[in-house]
Structure 1
């Protein structure tokens, strides 16, 4: 009888559970984030479409297709970044480091403008300053007899002002958080040594806050260059194009290859400035200001300047929060923007068709299409919040519990990649990937599914960040103990992590809900009559001259967004050190 072979039997290949989870997460991120961006690049490299690069960059139309829009985009980006840092930094300094009255109120109001959609502020600007250059209704000031110059009603100046009013909250939040870490002992020691306020500000406060200043400038620059709403409403009527509006126009008229080239270049511009900001921050010397000792807050005594500086801060906050909302509400009730505060009517809200008013348009709550769009938008917000929270939590779990190695690093980079991509470029990428059938799968353009997955991918970084924050609050020992007893990943996630972190996850989901409710840049290219979204309807009404209807829809978006934001803040209960005494 032959002897049995001495070779050991080969063991069946078993994929490690953690490795399998990482591969699963990487696949999801590849489909949601990487694939659309790669597809938009490959579309422009197709032999039939590669000529679009030369058309856009060096052809006879390149001046209008690229260089003029690029110049306007860079002017807006740099101007908004400088304005936001100045205003946000000024308010942060007042709230955190001085004895200005009503610091908490100023701090709260300084965070509100980002809650208001930029197209809402642009609509409010038009209701005040619109002149007769492009026809249609004139604004309130011209109705009072003032001759509003074109440069104030349309184009670069109003777009800059509106975007600064919208984005300075970002700079305020980042700089205020940095200023709150300044060691009061250093300031007090400098005062005892006889240093003047200017010397303390430039020698102590500014070096500590400089990384936050650069971060605030980078974020606001990226937001401004990707913004579609404000330049579309205030610039397009006088043919002022930015890269975002040019991209929208090219896709709308079917010149998709040229549009995709603009989208890629817009991504490069936004990503380059964010990279430069990070490079500057990482290349600086660090300053240790937290010593471990408890200390009382040391605030600058403003003296006689206390009330004037409070007045300046109050005016900024009121003009960027209360005034736009009040104008929108008044304009939705007034028969004309030139007479905002007289002859109010609810026609634009609940009225029936009247041929003598707005070409027979019914009020928004009497219009089945708008009522349906309201339900669809809220359903989209809830669906995106749920899917983004689930995927973000799984990604955050992988990064928090096993964040080492090449796979984890790749997952981390891809999950935050949408932050570098302007919303309108992201929408174009999804049209490129899902606008046509893929194998057995049908085209998704014009479906709820496309809006859902595009919104989920675009807002994924926010849910990942929220997920990491809440998972870090749950001890890893609990998860490890459950794993050793044989509990699988889903069992550990649903039985331990989710119950303990439910409030934080709910708050993060509400933030995502608010963002998709008021977003215009992402959905403006994905909009179809079968899938109406409120923000795009407001833009369409405004561009067609039905200002009151646009403002009424915008007020609805504001009410929903503010209610959800307040609920999120209540759940999150964040500690804001600059609001404490």
Structure 2
């Protein structure tokens, strides 16, 4: 029995459930950190892990090489490194392609800087006639795939030393020599035309913001134009010039299409084509060593660019007061300068596109007679060609490749844009700076890896079942995943830049009104940042439309996109249809660029011409 003096205390309520409810409410109100951790795990798996797998392939025995490596599959080995760098075949596998790559990069840098610097000065600092129009027109090659120009060059200068149809000049009675039709010289010239707009963009912005008072002061002290150019302009523009050099070198490292079209016919290999050839021959270990070398050069070049960017902050070219920047009078050089700029535009835009278009209308290349022109290669039927027997517009292969392009590139671009905005949100909003730093760095990593090497990394990892994913080679999924990862540097930087401009006040007000995180994202963050989201989607879309090096490694005939479909037509020597497909790619890329500028209110030429 209970004593009458016994006091019954109230039973203590369990505290676990309220604590869980409290933490769940906090998590749903601000789940930034958990989402950031999930995004970091996804980025590590789809960006870092493929690259690590590629590195491991270079030092582990691959299936089928046990006898040559004298070791079991999967064991550590130096065989591939020694074979690629120090064996009797190392010269053709690595050292000669490396030497060719360096020669091409040096020639492209020299020519593009020389011509691009002059063009940038004429557009920004002189009274060049129609300079506003040229400020935009000269950037058109920047919107087009580099291998477009290689196709036009091949149409004009190809000879039948390697077989196939005639080029225009050969039809007209002159057979171009091999050194002009193929190899180093045309590759350098074509890449120069493609990268001149890159120099104009980098140097033009520096020249536009340059303090004109420095120039005027030197002129008042009696300095001549040459002295001003070499003693004032050049030193202050040196960081921009060096940055252009480094970035052009990084781009040349991963350039595949031009070297494939104009180099391989005469066995002129660069690092990217050597990598492609090793993978075609199923020499995955050797390919991994070459890919690692390309990655190493790419990382070093971009680290050098980052160092130059820090040094560039010491060069202040915009004063507090500013100065009136009057364009220079060209005097008697006005019309020669206009002719020079016009020639560059004709050679880099008008001539290549015109050649490609006319080639699709000619039965015999280069014969300019009325009876030789036809629309058969566009809309014809029962053609005597091997690859296609109908015009490209009636070919189911074209429309399947077009659908694959829109579906694959569109899905990847949409996913990259949404992920980029979400990553930007986490990087800016999370209280954990370490998480933000890791996300920034890991999403930028694909920019350090040339496309051909990144594709090789994906081929290495996902050609076989790996983790929760089955073997993906030959599937659309592999192309979408690779393209999302490859475009994350652009999408994530667009998202980070946008979120840095959005204060916390709109979200805090909505949170005080009881809106959860999903509601705040759907009704506040995304509507406010729709311009950045559009940019983060369209930029990867345009890049994917133009892309070749990533798709050429991963696509199979059933997953062909327009670029790989055009390449297969070239392999069949059906050049009229290939050129038609290339023109369609150019149209999509150019239209996408204009649409991006229209929707975002930006202009590639903004800041170059006044």
Is TM more than 0.5 here?
A: yes
Structure 2 CA distance for aligned equivalents of residues 403 and 446 of structure 1: 42
What is the correspondence of 1:318-397 to structure 2 with a 5 Å cutoff? 318-339=346-367, 343-355=372-384, 357=385, 361-397=389-425
Change (3 A) 1:29 1:484: farther
Q: Is the 8 A contact 2:138 2:197 kept in 1?
A: yes
Structure 2 CA distance for aligned equivalents of residues 20 and 106 of structure 1: 50
- Deviation track 1:470-498 (CA, whole Å, cap 9, x = no partner) reads 33443343234334555444333322222
* Alpha-carbon distance, 1:3 to partner: 12
- TM-score w.r.t. length of structure 2: 0.89
* Alpha-carbon distance, 1:412 to partner: 1.0
- Deviation track 1:274-330 (CA, whole Å, cap 9, x = no partner) reads 222332443457122323435432222222112111211111122111111111111
Give the alignment partner of residue 558 of structure 1, picking from 580, 586, 607. 586
Give the alignment partner of residue 520 of structure 2, picking from 492, 506, 518. 492
Q: 1:117 corresponds to which residue?
A: 145
Structure 2 CA distance for aligned equivalents of residues 283 and 239 of structure 1: 41
Q: Is the 8 A contact 1:373 1:533 kept in 2?
A: yes
5+ long unaligned stretches in structure 1: none
Q: Is the 8 A contact 1:84 1:220 kept in 2?
A: no
Q: Is the 8 A contact 2:428 2:436 kept in 1?
A: no
Deviates more, 1:32-41 or 1:399-408: 399-408
Q: Is the 8 A contact 2:452 2:553 kept in 1?
A: yes
* Alpha-carbon distance, 1:195 to partner: 1.9
Change (3 A) 1:93 1:130: same
Structure 1 CA distance for aligned equivalents of residues 318 and 431 of structure 2: 28
Change (3 A) 1:411 1:430: same
Q: Is the 8 A contact 1:167 1:223 kept in 2?
A: no
Give the alignment partner of residue 45 of structure 1, picking from 46, 53, 59. 59
* Alpha-carbon distance, 1:521 to partner: 0.5
Give the alignment partner of residue 465 of structure 1, picking from 493, 502, 509. 493
Structure 2 CA distance for aligned equivalents of residues 339 and 439 of structure 1: 58
What is the correspondence of 1:165-314 to structure 2 with a 5 Å cutoff? 165-283=193-311, 286-293=314-321, 295-314=323-342
Q: 2:476 corresponds to which residue?
A: 448
Give the alignment partner of residue 59 of structure 1, picking from 74, 87, 96. 87
* Alpha-carbon distance, 1:349 to partner: 1.2
Count matched residues: 579
Q: Is the 8 A contact 2:387 2:569 kept in 1?
A: no
Give the alignment partner of residue 43 of structure 2, picking from 8, 26, 29. 29
Deviates more, 1:82-91 or 1:264-273: 82-91
Q: Is the 8 A contact 1:103 1:579 kept in 2?
A: no
- Deviation track 1:123-172 (CA, whole Å, cap 9, x = no partner) reads 10011111222122221122222231211101110111111111222121
Deviates more, 1:447-456 or 1:47-56: 47-56
1:133 aligned counterpart, secondary structure = helix
Change (3 A) 1:205 1:359: closer
* Alpha-carbon distance, 1:255 to partner: 1.2
Deviates more, 1:432-441 or 1:525-534: 432-441
Change (3 A) 1:322 1:469: farther
Give the alignment partner of residue 509 of structure 2, picking from 481, 494, 498. 481
Q: Is the 8 A contact 2:131 2:609 kept in 1?
A: no
Q: Is the 8 A contact 1:534 1:557 kept in 2?
A: yes
Deviates more, 1:286-295 or 1:361-370: 286-295
5+ long unaligned stretches in structure 2: 1-5, 62-72
Change (3 A) 1:118 1:360: closer
Q: 1:79 corresponds to which residue?
A: 107
Q: 1:17 corresponds to which residue?
A: 31
Q: Which has the larger radius of gyration?
A: 2
Q: 1:106 corresponds to which residue?
A: 134
Q: Is the 8 A contact 1:332 1:548 kept in 2?
A: yes
* Alpha-carbon distance, 1:53 to partner: 1.6
Alignment RMSD: 2.5
Structure 1 CA distance for aligned equivalents of residues 58 and 368 of structure 2: 48
Change (3 A) 1:233 1:445: same
Structure 2 CA distance for aligned equivalents of residues 572 and 110 of structure 1: 21
Deviates more, 1:480-489 or 1:555-564: 480-489
Structure 2 CA distance for aligned equivalents of residues 100 and 331 of structure 1: 34
1:147 aligned counterpart, secondary structure = coil
- Deviation track 1:437-481 (CA, whole Å, cap 9, x = no partner) reads 124531111111111110111011111222233334433432343
Give the alignment partner of residue 95 of structure 1, picking from 110, 123, 132. 123
Q: 2:463 corresponds to which residue?
A: 435
Q: 2:3 corresponds to which residue?
A: none
2:318 aligned counterpart, secondary structure = coil
Matched, 1:152 2:180: yes
- TM-score w.r.t. length of structure 1: 0.94
Change (3 A) 1:323 1:404: farther
Change (3 A) 1:489 1:187: farther
Deviates more, 1:412-421 or 1:231-240: 412-421
Deviates more, 1:196-205 or 1:422-431: 196-205
Q: Is the 8 A contact 1:44 1:261 kept in 2?
A: yes
* Alpha-carbon distance, 1:580 to partner: 4.6
Structure 1 CA distance for aligned equivalents of residues 313 and 439 of structure 2: 29
Structure 1 CA distance for aligned equivalents of residues 528 and 512 of structure 2: 20
Q: Is the 8 A contact 1:180 1:577 kept in 2?
A: no
Change (3 A) 1:84 1:3: farther
